[in-house]
Amino acid sequence: MLTGKRILLVIGGGIAAYKALDLIRRLRERGASVRGVMTGAAAHFVTPLSVASLSGQGVHQELFSLTDEAEMGHIELSRDADLVVVAPATANLLAKMANGIADDLASTLLLATDKKALVAPAMNLRMWLHPATQRNVARLREDGVLFAGPNDGSMACGEYGPGRMSEPLEIVAAIETALQSETQIPLAGAARSRGPLSGRRVVITSGPTHEPIDPVRYIANRSSGRQGHSIADAARDAGADVVLISGPVAIPDPAGLAVVHVETAQQMLAAVEAAMPADIFISAAAVADWRIANAQTEKIKKTGSSLPTLTMAENPDILARIGKSSARPRLVIGFAAETEKVVAHAQEKLGRKGCDLIVANDVSPASGVMGGDENTVHLVTPAGVESWPKMSKAEVGRKLVERFGKMLEARL
């Protein structure tokens, strides 16, 4: 549910603008409030009255509106939301966002906002596939902009292919996912310099790894990456220079930090070593212990006579490699996801891996931790065990970063 969430909806000019009306209705059904902003071109496809009637709020259209500026200036409007959604996001709007152009109300809000933006592209397939649009999309992804679609489908122009705007419920799902993480974009420079981890480099791994069996199958685990990504969010907010190395996850990248995407344990190790040196290394990823030694280059087919033989090989131990390296970070943090004897296994792991602290948790099916939004953790150090009550993974991330900051300060 989206109860209490505030959405700033920018409606671009395209035939898909009619879907924005249904999107408003779907968001309000789930408890969100929606404030609409329309480009000049959008008014050719849907009326401001329709948007205002469905949202229950006035619609903003003009950058230099005396009434709007007096009641709520465009800077305040751009920040009075939990998430900015652009639907439909035309090629023109994407180009303005990618290049920092602010020549109307919509583009000015998108440049001035301090919240993440989620865009739902909609355009002719040739416009979507044009190198200029693809360059803009790549730049926006690097900047932390989130995307919903586009889908393949029939166009109003009669062509078929990529560029069709996602359906309203698909966009709602993307909005719900985006709001599970921090949406505030930190201000570069002075605002970050006041944090307790200012000037510190933090490398974090998150999510699962996928170990291929053949081109279409792999070995994996149920890690969602939510805890690791939450720690990355909190470390960024504490002023750190963060590198997040993420396995395959379905949650958005945190904004305002470097993200390296990997698939396998071997790729994750290479990315971690490339990100060194660091002041803190946090190994929150659920790295597969084994991989298939004889992964096939073609899909394994049923023969009807015998089962395929899969030979296993041990994956590199990333945490132990970093914890015992000559260039060891000042602080090395590991995670222990266990289904029984949680604390005992973490205590054994602490010395074997060369860690300063192990964050242990119960990931048995009954706990609901794997893939869930809450966590119950135990902090295991050579001095003892500290158990925390159940809390959201975002709150666990903030409290862990606060603790890591104090530990690092004690070592300097």
Residue 75 has what pLDDT? 65
Residue 63 has what pLDDT? 64
Residues 23-41: what's their mean pLDDT?
90
Residue 310 CA to residue 363 CA, distance in Å, equals 27
Query: pLDDT class for 20, splitting at 50, 70, 90?
Result: very high
Q: What number of other Cβ atoms are within 10 A of residue 368's Cβ?
A: 15
pLDDT digits (tens, 9 = 90+) for 65-109: 544 544 445 567 767 788 899 989 999 999 999 999 988 888 888
Residues 159-188: what's their mean pLDDT?
81
Residues 318-322: what's their mean pLDDT?
94
Percent of the chain with pLDDT over 90: 42
Is 157 among the catalytic positions? Answer: yes
Query: Catalytic pick from 111, 129, 132, 157?
Result: 157
pLDDT reading at 175 higher than 60: yes
Residues 215-244: what's their mean pLDDT?
91
- Averaged confidence pLDDT in the chain: 86
H or E, element range at 68: helix 66-71
Residue 138 CA to residue 383 CA, distance in Å, equals 47
What letter represents residue 112's amino acid? Answer: A
pLDDT reading at 307 higher than 90: no
Closest by alpha carbon to 287, among 300, 299, 309, 272?
Answer: 272
Q: Give the β-pairing of 6-11 and 83-89.
A: parallel
Query: CA 217, 222, 225: angle at the middle one, nearest 5?
Result: 110
Phi, psi of 18 (to 5 degrees): -65, -30
Residues facing residue 162 across a β-bridge: 152
For the ranges 75-89, 240-254, 288-302, 329-343, which has the lowest average pLDDT?
A: 75-89
pTM: 0.58
Query: pLDDT class for 300, splitting at 50, 70, 90?
Result: confident
Token look-up 């671009």 returns: 12
Domains and CATH numbers, the chain: 6-178 (3.40.50.1950), 190-411 (3.40.50.10300)
CA contacts within 13 A on the Cβ side of 231: 29
Residues 191-212: what's their mean pLDDT?
84
